[in-house]
Structure 1
Amino acid sequence: MVNDIICFEHVTKSFGKRTILQDLNFSVKQGEFITVLGTSGSGKTTTLKMINGLETADGGRISVEGNNLANCDLVKLRRHIGYVIQSIGLFPHMTIAQNISVTPKLLKWDQKRIDQTVNELLTEVGLDPAVYREQMPNQLSGGQQQRVGVARALATNPPILLLDEPFSALDAITRQSLQKDIKALHEKMPDKTFFFVTHDINEALYLGDRVMVVNHGQIEQFASPKQVVDHPASEFVSQLLATVRQNRALWEDLK
């Protein structure tokens, strides 16, 4: 697992007069769990959306599995990249099984294969198929719905899973449980690359094999969690780490 599955070379992106990404360069190896950390407006979600072509670069080159996105079929690309978003986005008029089956049906899988995949994935994300297959999204809690969202993203066995702040709208207990589960899920699927955007530094450090810290469209540091904590590469990274320590100090003051 040493191949670069995602590569950004001198990528730039602007919206009107506002520059979002400035000469962005990085690569991700197959099987890595990458967390992308930054404040609102830092460019982290734009970066994620560029991996599956939902946003296009103004300049530079983006390649996924060796394919230049400027020259490939983006619809076909997206069908083989899992995508989990904060708002979950389950179809309210479809059962849980039907929600997970959307892309396999587009790819014309036979029903037996679809049913087997749905059952396996529901089990993988901690939901009993016998209980949840025929339920509707509004019958599930937010955490359960997000588990279905992850299952749906994995339905076609994609090599890459993009996760855009998937747990930020959930309560603290549910969020912590899902963090543990998504980490365990990646450990069971070591060939899959997870690219996870978050604004929570604790989440980024807990989940990531490497943490990409972005600020104003530039990478401040891209390193292991231990390296980020022990050797912050910039004043911005130091300030982020300081917020964690300040919060800890608040708890200490209550004792």
Structure 2
Amino acid sequence: MNQPEIEFEHVVKRFGQTTVIPDLSFTINKGEFVTVLGSSGSGKTTTLKMINGLWQPTSGTVKIGGKELTEHNQVDLRRHVGYVVQQIALFPHLTIKQNIAVVPKLLGWEQAKIDQRVDELLDLVKLPSDQYADRYPAQLSGGQQQRVGLARALAANPDFILFDEPLGALDALTRIDLQKEIKNLHASLADKTFFFVTHDINEALYLGQRVMVMNRGRLEQFASPETIVQHPASPFVEELLATEERNQELWRRLQ
């Protein structure tokens, strides 16, 4: 039975006189990997920031775990939500172990439990604790830092994780490698919900079990990658797919 984890019901978001989200409704079930695809200004990051309560909707309802967002303790909610961003934002003066332990410490975990969790997570993201725990962020590559960011997001065992274009600043080969890692990680954490914002169509279709295509704050299509490719629901979605087809044709001519 599907259990709703994130629900938007006729959500509107305005900044002053500018309407960014005119009317948005969707449901994401527990354990799903949903990617959100759209160009700049499509409303995807605004949607993400309303999920974790950083921004409040102008009208409409956001529910997390069946409970309205306004009924949650906002500080407590954010401490129990994993958040992975493009800039990574590791604390440069803290070791890798200390960076991952930030939220568990805020939650008052015992040190032995924190140490065990850090070791588990470093192994999970393929950065063995005995080699990386005592290093500092500046001693790691961009890809390794992003793995630490992912481990930190998982540290407090959150129900869902929000990804805000986390791979956008990485080189192509590192990005492909981490896409595989994130996809495999979700498969190994069957009860975790992933909400992954991207502007890369290949990334969205590869990672998502379902893909939300957004345009000017509206939901153009929300379906499986196969359905989107085979049955685009609007001219905008068709144009997105045509753009990728043109790129593939260019590669074929250059080979």
Q: Work out whether the TM-score is over 0.5.
A: yes
Mean CA deviation greater in 11-20 or 236-245: 11-20
Task: Encode CA deviations 1:23-55: one digit per residue, 9 max, x unaligned.
Answer: 100000000000000000100001011111011
Give 3-state SS (helix, strand or coil) of 2:21's partner: strand
1:1-255 correspondence to structure 2 within 5 Å: 2-255=2-255
State the alpha-carbon separation in 2 of the partners of residues 192 and 46 from structure 1: 22
> What letter is aligned with 2:254?
L
1:27 alignment partner, SS class: strand
Distance of 1:18 and 1:143 partners within structure 2: 37
CA distance in 2, matches of 1:84, 1:149: 6
**Structure 2: which amino acid aligns with 1:164?**
D
SS at match of 1:153: helix
Structure 2: tracts of 5 or more residues without a match = none
Q: CA deviation at 1:233?
A: 0.2
Q: CA deviation at 1:140?
A: 0.3
Q: Distance in 1 between matches of 2:51 and 2:83?
A: 11
* Partner amino acid, structure 2, of 1:173: L
SS in 2 for 1:214: strand
Question: AA paired with 1:174?
Answer: T
* Distance of 2:96 and 2:243 partners within structure 1: 39
Q: AA paired with 2:185?
A: L
Aligned to 2:28, what secondary structure does the other structure show? strand
The SS at the match of 1:54 is coil
Distance 1:44 1:205 in 2: 16
> What is the aligned-residue identity percentage?
61
1:139 and 1:18 mapped to 2: Cα distance? Answer: 43
Q: Report the AA paired with residue 72 of structure 1.
A: H
Where does the alignment leave 5 or more consecutive residues of structure 1 unmatched? none
Q: Following TM superposition, by how much is the alpha carbon of 1:14 offset from its aligned partner in structure 2, in angstroms?
A: 1.1
Structure 2 length-normalised TM: 0.99
Alpha-carbon separation, structure 1, partners of 2:76 and 2:191: 21
Structure 1 residue 71, shift from structure 2 partner: 2.5
The one-letter amino acid paired with 2:137 is P
- Report the AA paired with residue 88 of structure 1: I
Cα separation, 2, equivalents of 1:171 and 1:18? 35
AA aligned opposite 1:100: I
Residue 121 of structure 1: how far off its partner (Å):
0.2
Distance 2:94 2:245 in 1: 45
Distance, in Å, in 1 between the alignment partners of 2:245 and 2:16 is 38
Tell me, in whole angstroms, the C-alpha distance in 2 between the residues paired with 1:106 and 1:70.
Answer: 22
Q: In 1, distance between residues paired with 2:128 and 2:3?
A: 36
1:22 shift after superposition? 1.2
CA RMSD of aligned residues (A): 0.7
Which whole-Å CA distance do the structure 2 matches of 1:96 and 1:117 have between them? 13
Structure 1 CA distance, aligned partners of 2:67 and 2:98?
Answer: 31
